[in-house]
Amino acid sequence: MNDLLLSLFALCATNNGMFKSEKQARFFAYKGEGENNDWEIYRVETFTFGYHGGCRRQIGYCAKFDNVGVTKIIKSDAKGDHVLFERGLINTYAEKRAAKDVQFVRDQQEVLTVDIPRIEQAKTEVEAKITLNLSVLSEDLKTAVTADLWEALVRTTTQSNVELQAEIAELDDRIAYLKKEFKLD
């Protein structure tokens, strides 16, 4: 999509389609096609899918505007024409952005109330396994010393604890990722 259309989309999303200055209005009038306060910018995008680009789809965007701002943005694809924005109607971009913000907050709350506590519980269980391994090791060492098995027992327990420590590190990384992703720090 070209920069002019992106700019018009941004105007629709942030300024209800109105130009921010007279200079901006003149610029778009110069770049657009049409006359007498009725201009448009049209752009066709071709998308290629599939193995060796065997499937192609075209999507066209038409932005209509006057000397005040964007009046309508239409998306044309194989399913037909869809009005994405029309001045005077509810701004669909603002609605979609608000819905995404609400969903982000819901996801953030779910991470706080469900995911992080579940991961911390798993971490606590792994730490308990390490503690249990060490207590079993101390009991087994008493009998293993007499049978010269203590070296193998220590090696096995240490290896198990190293694996458990790695699991704890992965859980800590997951918690850190979730906190960063959902801006919880």
Per domain, the residue ranges of the chain are: 3-89, 95-181
The pLDDT score that the predictor gives to residue 153 is: 67
Residue 142 has pLDDT above 70, yes or no: no
pLDDT confidence of 43, banded at 50, 70, 90?
confident
The pLDDT score that the predictor gives to residue 92 is: 61
pLDDT tens for each residue of 85-95? 887 765 566 66
C-alpha span between 138 and 155 (Å, rounded): 13
Residue 62 has pLDDT above 60, yes or no: yes
Phi then psi for 21, rounded to 5 degrees?
-155, 165
Average pLDDT rounded to a whole number, residues 66-71 = 85
Spatial contact of 72 and 64, defined as CB atoms under 8 Å apart: yes
Residue 146 has pLDDT above 60, yes or no: no
Spatial contact of 114 and 106, defined as CB atoms under 8 Å apart: no
The pLDDT score that the predictor gives to residue 134 is: 76
Residue 127 has pLDDT above 70, yes or no: yes
The pLDDT score that the predictor gives to residue 73 is: 87
The pLDDT score that the predictor gives to residue 41 is: 83
Instruction: Give, in order, the Cα–Cα distances in Å from 180 to each of 141, 176, 185.
Output: 44, 6, 7
Residue 164 has pLDDT above 70, yes or no: yes
Is 35 strand, coil or helix? strand
CA atoms in the 13 A half-sphere facing the CB of 45: 11
The pLDDT score that the predictor gives to residue 65 is: 85
Task: Please state, as a whole number, how many other Cβ atoms lie within 10 Å of the Cβ of residue 61.
Answer: 21
C-alpha span between 17 and 52 (Å, rounded): 40
pLDDT confidence of 143, banded at 50, 70, 90?
low
Residue 137 has pLDDT above 80, yes or no: no
Spatial contact of 88 and 105, defined as CB atoms under 8 Å apart: no
The pLDDT score that the predictor gives to residue 117 is: 86
Average pLDDT rounded to a whole number, residues 72-79 = 88
pLDDT tens for each residue of 102-122? 888 888 888 778 888 888 888
